[in-house]
Amino acid sequence: MKTSITENVKRLLEELPEHVLLVAAAKSRTADEIDEAIEAGIRLIGENYVQEALAVIQAVKNKAEWHFIGHLQKNKVKYVVPNFDMIESVDSVPLAREIDKRCNKLGKRMPVLVEINSGREPQKFGFLPEEAENGIREIATLENIKILGLMTMGPRTGDPEAARPYFVETRRLFDKIGKLDIPNVEMRYLSMGMTNSYRIAVQEGANIVRIGTLIFGRRGKPI
C-alpha cells in the first residue's frame, strides 16, 4: 500500500502518547514535503544542515518551530541562533559558549538540550555519560542559554531492541541531573528515538522523538 506524508504523520500522532512531542527530522527534504507534514499536524521540525535549513525556513518559517538536531560547527552558530527555537545537539562547552555569545548580541535566550554520546562511540559527538554533569554545570553558567534536557542518538544498529540499554542509561542520567537542582538547568525534555527505535525510546522515558524516514520515506527515494 502506498502511504503519504499526510497519512504517516496522522498515524504517528495517533500512536504517540500525548506527552510525547514529535519532531519531524527533515534533512534533505524539500519545502513542499515539509509543508505537507505541517499541514498534517507536525509542529516541530528538526534540521541537521544549516544551509539547507535556511532555505526551507524562508519558505515555511512561521508554521512550525525549528529544532537544530545535527552536529553544529562553531562558525555556523551565527546562522542558527536567529532562526531556530531550540538546539538539541549541544555537544561541547565551546559550542555552548559560542551560542551564548551570539544570543547575547540578539538579546535572545536559547533553550538547549545537551547531547549524550550514550554509545561511547569515538566517531560520534556528545558528552560521555560520566562527563555530562561537569559539562552541564559549566554550560549552566552561561546566561543566554537555558538547559532544558538531554538528547541522545545511540548506536545505529538494525535491531531496535539493541538501542534500549543506551536509552535506559540516558534516562538515568536525566533523572540524576534533575535531582541536582543546578541553577539554570531543568530536566524537562528527553529527546531519543528515531524511526526504528522510537517505540523503545518512549517506553524508556523519551518525551521527544525525532522521526524522518517513517514520515517522509527513505531518503533519496520519495514515497
The CA radius of gyration of the chain, in Å to the nearest whole number, is 17
Q: Site residues for ligand PLP, window 122-181 (CB under 6 A)?
A: 153
> Does residue 211 belong to the site contacting ligand PLP (CB under 6 A)?
yes
Interface segment toward ligand PLP; rule CB under 6 A; list 98-106, 119-127, 172-180, 207-215: 207-215
Non-local (6+) Cβ contacts of 74 within 8 A are 94, 95, 98
Do 115 and 91 form a contact (C-beta atoms < 8 A)?
A: yes
Q: Site residues for ligand PLP, window 66-85 (CB under 6 A)?
A: 69-70
Do 90 and 115 form a contact (C-beta atoms < 8 A)?
A: yes
Q: What's the CA gap between 84 and 66, in Å, rounded?
A: 5
> Does residue 25 belong to the site contacting ligand PLP (CB under 6 A)?
yes
Cell of 212: 524522518
Q: How far is the CB of 140 from ligand PLP (least distance, A)?
A: 23
Query: Of these, 111, 119, 135, 212, which contacts ligand PLP (CB under 6 A)?
Result: 212
Q: What's the CA gap between 30 and 4, in Å, rounded?
A: 15
Q: Tell me whether residue 194 or residue 200 sits nearer to ligand PLP (CB atom).
A: 194
Residues near ligand PLP (CB under 6 A) are 25, 27, 48, 69-70, 153, 194-195, 210-214
